[in-house]
Amino acid sequence: QVQLVESGGGLVQAGGSLTLSCAASGSIFGIKAMTWHRQAPGKQRELVAHITTGGSTYYADSVKGRFTIPRDNAKNTVYLQMNSLKPEDTAVYYCYAEVTVQAMEHVSYAYWGQGTQVTVSS
pLDDT of amino acid 74: 87
Measured distance between the N- and C-terminal CA atoms of the chain, rounded to whole angstroms: 41
Taking all residues of the chain, what is their mean pLDDT, rounded to a whole number?
Answer: 94
Residue 44 to residue 4: CA distance in whole angstroms: 22
Residue 102 to residue 117: CA distance in whole angstroms: 32
Instruction: Identify the band that residue 73 occupies on the pLDDT scale cut at 50, 70 and 90.
Output: confident
Task: List pLDDT tens digits, range 30-67.
Answer: 888 899 999 999 999 999 999 988 889 999 999 999 99
pLDDT of amino acid 53: 83
